[in-house]
Amino acid sequence: METFGVVIIGAGPGGYPAAIRAAQLGATVAIVEKEELGGTCLNWGCIPTKTLIASSDLYARLKAGGEMGLQVDGAAFDYAAMTARKEQVVGVLRNGIKQLLKANGVKILKGTAAFQTRNRIAVHPQASSGDPGSASTVIGAEKTIIATGATSSMPGFLPRHKRVLESRSFLELRALPSSVLILGGGVVGCEFACLLAQLGVRVTVVELLEDILWSLDADVRREVRRHMEKALGIRILTGRALENISADEGSVRGTVGEEQVKADVLLAALGRKPVTEELKLENAGLATNPQGFIEVDEYGRTRVATIYAIGDVTGGPQLAHAATSQGLVAAENTCSRTLRKNEKYIPNCIFTSPEIGTVGLSEQEARAPGREIKAGKFMLGALGKALAMGGTMGFVKWVADAETDQLLGAQVVGPHATELIAEATTAIRAELTATELAHTVHAHPTLAEAWMESAHLLVGTPIHSLPRKKK
């Protein structure tokens, strides 16, 4: 039996960086993957959707080219070519990971991992991997990092039908449906809604909660929803359930309250569930919590001393970069005597149209009892760069502690919001004050100036806002 210093289960955005870091720190490392290197993020999540969004976004901008002085006639798209490009991008990145793992001496094992004991793991080759006859291998693991991630949940009330899809199967379509009913107005549902609407698909979003993107501040939600409804023509039905769902050869139907809704396909975007079934956690002395997640402490440790867990399978933010950060922390902690804690500030990027970026506390969360806060919102439309670009919607918002001036949270909605949030993340992690941010020179003309202007608002000395009326 071959024994490794660190065995990583799952080669997603959490697992593969953990493997590389452990190898860099001198451990013998094996990584077990049952499907594709790169996990959900690379193969069926972030990267493919962002590749498609890049196409759809450009298409939407081309169509609006008249406003910018362009004459674009007969702009059209070929969805099959768009998906082929997506496959190509994914392929390049997947190959990159393979090269990196190999170059760092990480052993890649194809198959499904299951604990036999806490230090022994069986790897069963997948029947689909082309060699159904091969026997399973057993490896020894001094330390293990579980990074199995999560998968789309398909609740039992949904009919099993080829017109009822989740995000992964939707991405495999080679032709666009003409209408889509999206069940769930969370991040995944809204990103798909914007992508499809930009390509001319008729989209209806049904969300049981009061609003879409419920965890965000109300002003951010309002900005995005307005654009989705007014500019993209998406129907958004909130506060009501989609009932009586049925699918047949021609369409998918359901009722929302009194209303009949109908589309070519239904895309279920109802959250994701952790992948633990095949792990046989009980053999390692582990169990999942009632929600199905593997619980870990702030150092990434499970209840079993030699086993760590990271990413979606542990609950917390279901974000690739959170998993990557946790993966690096866990890998360092398996190989080192001084423990590092998981990072507190994880930026959240939503690729809707307009984009959203948030980090730290929302205004709503920051207004906890016993804390005085101040919030400063600066409209992007007041910036030269935004006007020049032809994108005047959106805003940035700082939330700071009124007493210490500490920046506690930031939200941005508008063009390039997902890029802009990086500055706010750095500032918040470094515990900068609003005053310092306001004094930091920001290049002109850029969208990033909005952070400086918004910080000026908190300090009370804005240049590019109208003075507040004296009371």
Q: Residues with catalytic annotation?
A: 444
Q: Which is nearer to other proteins, 336 or 404 (CB)?
A: 404
CB 20 to other proteins: min, Å = 21
Binding mask 315-334 for other proteins (x = CB under 8 A): --------------------
Burial tier of 114 (Cβ tally within 10 Å: 0-12, 13-18, 19+):
buried
CB 407 to other proteins: min, Å = 8
Return the residue of 431, 444, 460, 461 that touches other proteins, per CB under 8 A: 431
CB 24 to other proteins: min, Å = 19
CB 362 to other proteins: min, Å = 19
Number of residues that bind other proteins (CB under 8 A): 11
CB 360 to other proteins: min, Å = 12
Q: Which is nearer to other proteins, 165 or 434 (CB)?
A: 434
Q: Does 436 bind other proteins (CB under 8 A)?
A: yes
Cα–Cα dist 76/152, whole Å? 32
Return the residue of 181, 195, 322, 432 that touches other proteins, per CB under 8 A: 432
CB 433 to other proteins: min, Å = 5
Q: Over the range 67-105, which residues count as b (16 or more CB within 10 Å of their CB) and which as e? A: eeeeeeeeeebebeebbeebeebbeebbeebbebbeeee
Residues 376-415 that bind other proteins (CB under 8 A): 401, 403-407
Q: Which is nearer to other proteins, 361 or 432 (CB)?
A: 432
Q: Does 75 bind other proteins (CB under 8 A)?
A: no
Residue with tokens 């993020």: 41
Report which of 121, 123, 127 is spatially closest to residue 144, judged by C-alpha positions.
Answer: 121
Q: Which is nearer to other proteins, 120 or 456 (CB)?
A: 456
The alpha-carbon radius of gyration of the chain (Å, integer) is 24
User: Of the listed pieces 116-124, 169-177, 312-320, 428-436, which binds other proteins according to CB under 8 A?
Assistant: 428-436
Q: Which is nearer to other proteins, 230 or 344 (CB)?
A: 344
User: Of the listed pieces 130-138, 175-183, 389-397, 430-438, which binds other proteins according to CB under 8 A?
Assistant: 430-438
Q: Does 297 bind other proteins (CB under 8 A)?
A: no
Q: Distance between alpha carbon 233 and the CA centroid of its chain, in Å?
A: 24
CB 375 to other proteins: min, Å = 17
Return the residue of 131, 430, 460, 461 that touches other proteins, per CB under 8 A: 430
CB 332 to other proteins: min, Å = 13
CB 435 to other proteins: min, Å = 8
Q: Which is nearer to other proteins, 246 or 404 (CB)?
A: 404
User: Of the listed pieces 69-77, 140-148, 194-202, 432-440, which binds other proteins according to CB under 8 A?
Assistant: 432-440
Q: Which is nearer to other proteins, 252 or 459 (CB)?
A: 459
User: Of the listed pieces 206-214, 279-287, 377-385, 424-432, which binds other proteins according to CB under 8 A?
Assistant: 424-432
Return the residue of 433, 448, 453, 454 that touches other proteins, per CB under 8 A: 433
Q: Which is nearer to other proteins, 146 or 432 (CB)?
A: 432
User: Of the listed pieces 149-157, 290-298, 325-333, 429-437, which binds other proteins according to CB under 8 A?
Assistant: 429-437
Q: Which is nearer to other proteins, 198 or 342 (CB)?
A: 342
Q: Which amino acid is at 68?
A: M
Q: Which positions lie near other proteins, rule CB under 8 A? A: 401, 403-407, 430-433, 436
